[in-house]
Copies of this chain bind each other. A is one copy, B any other.
Amino acid sequence: MELHARKRIDIVLEAPVLKRLTDLLDRLDVTGYTVLPVLGGKGHHGVWSREGLPSSAGAMVSVTVITAEENLDAVLEPVFTLVKRHIGIVTVSDVTVLRSDRF
């Protein structure tokens, strides 16, 4: 099947910031995103949950965005500006999609 190259952005961030992120994504040239729950983790800011239970540091979520490579910087820059003020991790990887018209 014909596969089309895109970029996948994964953003792990504090759940209370999710609405601000999705509002931002709505304003950008992003056709979709998926939000997954996060049980816990550890990062630059320390452990935010150890036993898979939400700690006082608050719940985290993971948001995946698929974007065209030519739009990557236009999405990544405002997303990173938002995330860097909070607890969060942003990674970018290569992915292919089946429907080129959808992303």
Contacts and interface: CB of A to CB of B under 8 A. Distances in A.
A55 interface: no
A85 interface: no
A39 B42 contact: no
Contacts of A90: 97-98
Q: Which secondary structure dominates where chain A touches chain B?
A: strand
A41 B65 CA distance: 10
Q: Please tell me the size bucket of the interface on A.
A: 35 or more
A51 B19 contact: yes
Interface of A: 1, 3, 6, 8, 12, 15, 18-19, 22, 25-26, 31-44, 49-52, 60-62, 66, 73, 76-77, 80, 89-98, 102
